[in-house]
Amino acid sequence: MDYKKTNAPTNTVTRDMIALSSDTGNVYETVCIIAKRANQISVEMKNDLEKKLQEFASFNDNLEEVFENREQIEISRYYEKLPKPTLIAAQEYQEGKVYYRNPAKEKEII
């Protein structure tokens, strides 16, 4: 998933919980699915950010001087402006892009 090209809003949006939970039949299960996907997106974003910041890291052990690295600041600001992982996960869920299954429910059917 390319979280940079998502059309998720960057601010909080009120959602209809009844419509949101229509697939699972349970609001809490829906929230759990969105939360787990948000954690996955968050880890992916964090790894990507750390990888990009490592490219510009200075390896000086000089604790007395603090250097501003413009590239690091610009990258950090870019990631701060991206939609939060929870908003991206909720948007993916509404668009049907999230795959989920519940083994407990599958056992009941069999």
Tell me the pTM.
Answer: 0.80
> Dihedral sign, CA of 64, 67, 72, 76?
positive
Rounded CA separation 85/44 (Å): 10
Residue type, 27: V
Q: 66-99 pLDDT, tens per residue?
A: 566 788 888 889 988 899 999 999 999 999 999 9
| Res 1 pLDDT > 80 | no
CB atoms within 10 A of CB 66: 6
CA angle, 6 as apex, 87 and 78 as ends, to 5°? Answer: 85
Q: 24-41 pLDDT, tens per residue?
A: 989 999 999 999 999 999
Q: Which pLDDT band, with edges at 50, 70 and 90, does 60 fall under?
A: low
